[in-house]
Structure 1
Amino acid sequence: MLKFDRQGLIPAVIQDDITGDVLMLAFMNQEAFQRTRETGYTHFFSRSRNAIWRKGEESGHVQEVRAIFVNCEENSLLLRVIQHGAGACHMGYRSCYYRRLQPDGTYETVAERLFEPEVVYANAPAVGAQFIAPLETAMRQLYDAYLYLRDHDLSEESNTSRLLHESLDRVGQGTINQAPTTAPWLYLVSRLADELQELADVQRGEHVHSGQQPDTILEGSQVGYWLLLLAATAKLHYDDFTPHVSMLRGYNERYSADVGTRFIASEQQENC
């Protein structure tokens, strides 16, 4: 049985399954460890933020777990992973151990920087990490439900299952200047385009039901629905497009870096 410390944490060494290089060291609590096992991607506990985070949730440089090893005293872990993206280090290197300690106590950089952190993290969600994990969990569960409806024909009980199965069999008819082509997700693409247009019209004040805020939620949820169905039909893995990251990024683009203040002010204005 794993032995977590007094703070409920256990150190986890992350190793590249292909090269054998040590990529990083992080800590897991029981929930982060469980999420790692359930999803197949590394999750850790941030002691500074007091929150669980998934590696790559901002950069997209996720770690796919291949094996988990436990040391002899059962108080540390070794995870062998496939490192997706440029690297594991938030400083832009493949490994967090990119410096060698010299005899005089100085550091020598011995690895090449593979990406610029300022660029990769420029559009990272500015909202607190406490919002990221719950949203990701909910979105993953929702997408898993759609995958189930895609893989099991429940058309008589579920309209979503019917749409998924019909879209897999649908044939695009082409246009005057385009030959007919088999496009299983053509119908879903057209519905997604329609909802995106309506969402844009809401923002311009040209499409009104109950007001901008509720209409944005309504049309935004429709965009999300058709997007997930399209992704399920295209057989994408959740980590291929991470919709929760795009949702938070769009939120932050509207409310700027001072998310809390702007959000409260907006809510007060809407309720007046």
Structure 2
Amino acid sequence: MLNKEIYVNGTSVIMPGMEAFSLSHEILKGNIDWSPIKLSKMTPLTLPANEARRATTVIRLALKVIEPIKYSDNTSVVFASSEGDLDITDKLCKALATKEKMVSPTLFHNSVHNAPAGYFSIAAAMKTPSISLSAGDNTFSAGLLEAVTQVLVENHDVLLVAYDNVTPKDLDDFRHFDYPVGIALLLSPSKQSNTIGSINISISNEIKSITQCFNKSLEAVRISNPAGLGLPLIEALVKGMNTKIVIPYLNQNQMLVSVNHV
């Protein structure tokens, strides 16, 4: 286990039925059950008009989940998505299958895995480093480990943004997600006035039961989207619990997250 606590100074979740911050918190606290109400277009409030027109659903999802977080100008960001923008991948594959093989500049521009990071840097005028990673079904835990490592090594705040959208119809047999999910966590080396809890993580090869959602109505989301694996951790933080969360990690290992209320 890492020998230093990491403080959590903000959380956010965006998914169907949890677009409003206040409603999202009530569901995460277990006060009301979740139901999959369709998301809006999720237009980011801070993007200039030209960039907003070019932003895809995945980009809007990643930026929208960040909006409730109160981060500073020196915050680094870890973007974690298992598949990136499969809508763009689908359109590129179809364009390349035509005789003309013409791909629009906007599609090409949005096809890279770090496109949301680029849009965020424009929207927030951020000049701090960011990293965009993928680890398949274990993307959330890989992103969390990267973010925690940066907090400990660099000794500054790090924002983790984990997200995946539903899969387009023609790629559904390749990769299937039931719901779009975005999760954000603001991590810090120091306790602050807005701290909601602390975490300490370790990697284990001992097989333990994976932690399920405390609000059982959310369990369908946890098992149907890689970003959803972070829901029990967010629930524990929002509920002010002292507990241990077990999340799948790479190579059949597991991530153990000790959560403490502060």
Normalized per residue, which structure has more strand? 2
By the TM > 0.5 criterion, same fold?
no
Higher relative contact order (CA 8 A, sep 6+): 2
TM-score by length of 2: 0.23
Q: Greater Rg, structure 1 or structure 2?
A: 1
